[in-house]
Amino acid sequence: MPYISPGFLDLQLNGFAGLDLNGEALSQESLVVMIRALWATGTALFLPTLVSAPFERLQGALKALADFVEAAPHLDLQSRLAAASIAGIHLEGPYISPEDGPRGAHVAAFVRPPDWDEFCRLQEAASGKIRLITLAPEWPGAIDFIERAVASGVTVAIGHTGADGHQIRAAVAAGARLSTHLGNGAHAQLPRHPNYLWEQLAADDLYATFIPDGFHLPPSVLKSFVRAKGVHRSILITDAVAAAGEAPGIRTLMGREVELTPQGKVQLLGTPYLAGSALRLDLAVANAMRMADLPLADAIRMVTETPAAVAALTSRTGRLCSGMEANLTLFRLGEDAAVEVLATVVKGQVVYTAGDFA
Ligand SMILES: [Zn+2]
């Protein structure tokens, strides 16, 4: 039986199908190729995600993304629709924890304290398209930064952090509304309590994103996190990197060797550290249903309505009702609850159909 849902929305995607959004110069052609590959996974909308990097590199990538979106009205239909799939930009860093563990795979030399003037220059390069920023609230000045960012209309997420409970509560009071990939970008070992995982789980004003690829969180942790946070505050993301949608093997990502294993795990070569995922949202929905014992409607909400709410996109997308942009995903459930995407619609235009679906 086919289903129709609001178009899947991914709040965190660093690359896909061979393109690293943080790597080489972004061209119109390479972005269109990547986004066409994303449409085949049911993703109608996404936030291209840039990680910690020197100012000039971030500025260049933000400008390239903004230029692509702004040039779209003058481009061909495929490019216009590809640009329409970019619902804003997620800046993950550079104002995150410098510590090993919370920093995750971000490069230590590029991590720095929050700097509002720098952020304003980055937002200018992005033509105002930075919609979400992930930072660590324990930095001096972070609370003031959060207040300014929220006042400017940017959603603030806590992530790659070693903050204590007081710092997390202060961030929430300042307007932070999301935990980025909760349970990852964290110390390998923590005091059993208190710690920043419990603090964020207990904060009812925080939504949380999760990476349900089976490597970032064991099934029991995903299930427990979703139950603690509540279905309505839980969001599935891919955190995909360029290797996603590609064959297993070793490749260079941000100047470092990264391995995609045949099982679908992406790790810094020779280390146990994950370096993003090879996940896709169609798999994320199926994995979350299986790992967290969720009904289909709940898992779909986590890639549609809830991320739209966090990214302040509810007037455009995330629900099936009149007056919304027609961003849609059609799919059926195959064996073992596999989500088989049949068609993806962006702004009322069919941008992908499976071979056997007409
Ligand atoms: Zn991260």
How many angstroms separate the alpha carbon of residue 354 from the centre of ligand 1?
32
Alpha helices of the chain — where are they, by DSSP H? 28-39, 55-71, 77-84, 116-125, 142-151, 165-174, 196-202, 219-229, 281-291, 296-301, 305-310
pLDDT of residue 336: 84
* 166 CA to centre of ligand 1 in angstroms: 22
What are the residues whose beta carbons fall under 8 Å from the beta carbon of 271, sequence distance 6 or more? Answer: none
Which contacts (CB < 8 Å, 24+ apart) does range 107-112 have? 107/52, 107/53, 107/254, 110/52, 110/53, 110/54, 111/52
pLDDT tens by residue, 53-100:
999 999 999 999 999 999 999 999 999 999 999 999 999 999 999 999
> What band does 358 get if pLDDT is binned at 50, 70 and 90?
low
pLDDT of residue 255: 78
Ligand 1 centroid distance, CA of 182 (Å): 9
pLDDT at position 271 is: 82
Interval 36-58 mean pLDDT: 98
| CA 320–ligand 1 middle distance (angstroms) | 31
317: CA distance to ligand 1 center in Å?
25
Distance 98 CA to ligand 1 centre (A): 13
Dist. CA 160 → ligand 1 center (Å): 6
Residue 253 vs residue 147, higher pLDDT = 147
pLDDT one-digit tens code per residue, 339-355: 999 999 999 999 999 98
User: Cα(217)–Cα(252) distance, rounded to whole angstroms?
Assistant: 25
* Ligand 1 mean position, distance from CA 203 (Å): 20
C-alpha 15 to ligand 1 mean position (Å): 13
Going along the chain from its start, the domains and CATH numbers come out as: 8-320 (3.20.20.140)
Cα–Cα distance measured from residue 202 to residue 183, given in angstroms and rounded to the nearest whole number: 14
pLDDT band at 44 (very low <50, low <70, confident <90, very high): very high
Query: Would you say 81 and 349 are in contact if contact means Cβ atoms under 8 Å apart?
Result: yes
Distance 178 CA to ligand 1 centre (A): 13
pLDDT-derived band at 117 (thresholds 50, 70, 90) equals very high
What pLDDT band is residue 270 in, cutting at 50, 70 and 90?
Answer: confident
Phi (first) and psi of residue 335, to 5 degrees: -65, 145
pLDDT tens profile 297-355: 999 999 999 999 999 999 999 999 998 999 999 999 998 889 999 999 999 999 999 98
- Say what the pLDDT of residue 357 is: 73
Phi, psi of 57 (to 5 degrees): -70, -45
- The Cα-based distances of 214 to 108, 263, 266 in angstroms read 27, 10, 12
342 CA from centroid of ligand 1 (Å): 30
Cα(153) to centroid(ligand 1), Å:
22
CA of 357 to the centre of ligand 1 (A): 36
